[in-house]
């Protein structure tokens, strides 16, 4: 089921994200999927989720494949680390983790694949982080039920 969630997140990134832009920032459904799914599984599986999300995002965009794979695996590893650290999993924690992951992923992408001005990139990353956190609040419970992972 997690593979289906990652696939759907990639499809949403390709087809819907640009239509949902707010002040030039778009949601990143794959980061949301990494955060939500990563907090449901152990580190090893969270890294695989990050790898798959990076591959899909790089394939959808058509470039920057290795940068997406590296940053998304880092984000998946973060989520897995939190799970192994026994962080209490609930929608608010998931939203906060999603915001932090979006900020970290955006900053690493600015370093690895510099495009445009840093100020505009940072502004878009901050807006996207808040946007992703709100969306994560809305999808965490349905994704938990879809994947069938028991409650903590």
In the chain, where the domains are located:
2-147
Q: Would residue 87 be called left, alpha or beta, if left means φ above 0 and alpha means ψ between -120 and 50 degrees?
A: beta
Of 1, 4, 63, 53, the C-alpha closest to 29 is 53
The predicted pLDDT at position 134 comes to 92
The predicted pLDDT at position 47 comes to 92
Residue 108 Cα distances to 13, 15, 140, 148, 149, angstroms? 19, 24, 25, 32, 30
Rounded-to-integer distance, Cα 49 and Cα 66, Å:
15
Phi, psi of 114 (to 5 degrees): -65, 120
The predicted pLDDT at position 143 comes to 83
Contact call for residues 9 and 30 (beta carbons, < 8 A): yes
The pTM is what?
0.88
The predicted pLDDT at position 30 comes to 92
CATH 1.10.10.10 describes domain 2-147 = no
Rg of the chain on CA atoms, in Å = 14
Divide the 152 residues of the chain into consecutive groups of 10 and give the mean pLDDT of each group.
87 85 85 91 90 89 82 91 84 92 90 77 88 91 78 60
Residue 141, both tokens = 């419970």
The predicted pLDDT at position 51 comes to 93
């Amino acid at each position: 089921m997690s593979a289906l969630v990652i696939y759907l997140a990639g499809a949403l990134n390709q087809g819907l994200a640009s239509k949902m832009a707010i002040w030039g920032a778009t949601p990143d459904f794959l980061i949301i999927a990494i955060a939500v799914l990563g907090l449901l599984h152990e580190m090893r599986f969270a890294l695989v989720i990050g790898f798959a999300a990076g591959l899909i995002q790089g394939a959808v965009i058509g470039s920057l494949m290795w940068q997406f794979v590296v940053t998304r695996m880092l984000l998946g590893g973060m989520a897995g680390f939190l799970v192994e650290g026994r962080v209490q999993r609930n929608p608010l924690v998931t939203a906060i983790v999603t915001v932090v992951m979006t900020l970290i992923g955006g900053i690493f992408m600015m370093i690895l694949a510099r495009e445009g001005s840093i100020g505009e990139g940072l502004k878009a990353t901050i807006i996207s982080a808040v946007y992703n956190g709100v969306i994560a609040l809305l999808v965490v419970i349905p994704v938990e039920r879809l994947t069938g992972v028991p409650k903590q």
